[in-house]
Amino acid sequence: MSTSIPDMAELISILKKHAGEGNIVVIGVGNPLCGDDGVGVLIAQRLKSRGFAENVVIAGTNPENFISYIASKDPKVIIFVDAINADLEPGSVIFASLSDAEKKYGIFSTHNIPFSLVLKLIGNVKGYIFGIQAVNIRLGDKMHHNIIKAAEVVTNILEKILSSF
């Protein structure tokens, strides 16, 4: 498992710069019935169980259905968590602004709705993604062990981030 994540202090500094005194919302995206594609939902569920329910949305396969709810939280930063297809090793993790990720990886989400469109509909908000390279995404697939390991790493990082605000 490889990662493209800044160190924790740098990551928190980046997010504080954009969030200021505002809210950060984490959006877990994916389909748990399709193996690795459920990793975003798994991470969001773990964060909710660790006490961050106010900052977490479990969007499943349709983040666009939660636009009004997310906007009501008045976020300054949104972090999408999702399985990606970026031709990396299974379980590899990226953290990037949405615009940088779209430029570097093109269409990188396993879903059809671009996250940048979700951001535009919410309003004045900065978007980031924690993407985890998927391998098993067919209906009924089990989650790959590298994706499960990556999920715990990302959950712990997001817990530290949310605890800092």
Task: List the domains of the chain with CATH numbers.
Answer: 3-163 (3.40.50.1450)
Q: DSSP states of 15-55 as a string?
A: HHHHHTTSEEEEEEE--TTSGGGGHHHHHHHHHHHTT-GGG
- pLDDT value, residue 140: 94
Instruction: Give the per-residue pLDDT at 58.
Output: 97
Would you call 63 exposed, middle or buried from its count of C-beta atoms within 10 A (0-12, 13-18, 19+)? buried
pLDDT tens for each residue of 20-38: 767 899 999 999 999 999 9
* Residue whose C-alpha is closest to residue 105's, from 135, 77, 78, 83: 83
pLDDT at 52 (0 to 100): 96
Host H or E run for residue 66: none
Q: Residue 46 pLDDT > 60, yes or no?
A: yes
Q: Taking each helix axis as running N to C, give the angle between helix 145-163 and helix 39-49, from 0 to 180 degrees, rounded to the nearest 10.
A: 40
- In which region does residue 97 sit, left (phi positive, over 0), alpha (psi from -120 to 50) or beta (all else)? beta
- pLDDT for res 116: 86
pLDDT at 92 over 90: yes
Residue 114: predicted pLDDT: 82
The Cα 50–Cα 28 span in angstroms is 15
Reported confidence tier of residue 50, pLDDT bands at 50, 70, 90: very high
- pTM over the 0.75 mark: yes
How far is residue 51 CA from its own chain's centroid?
A: 18
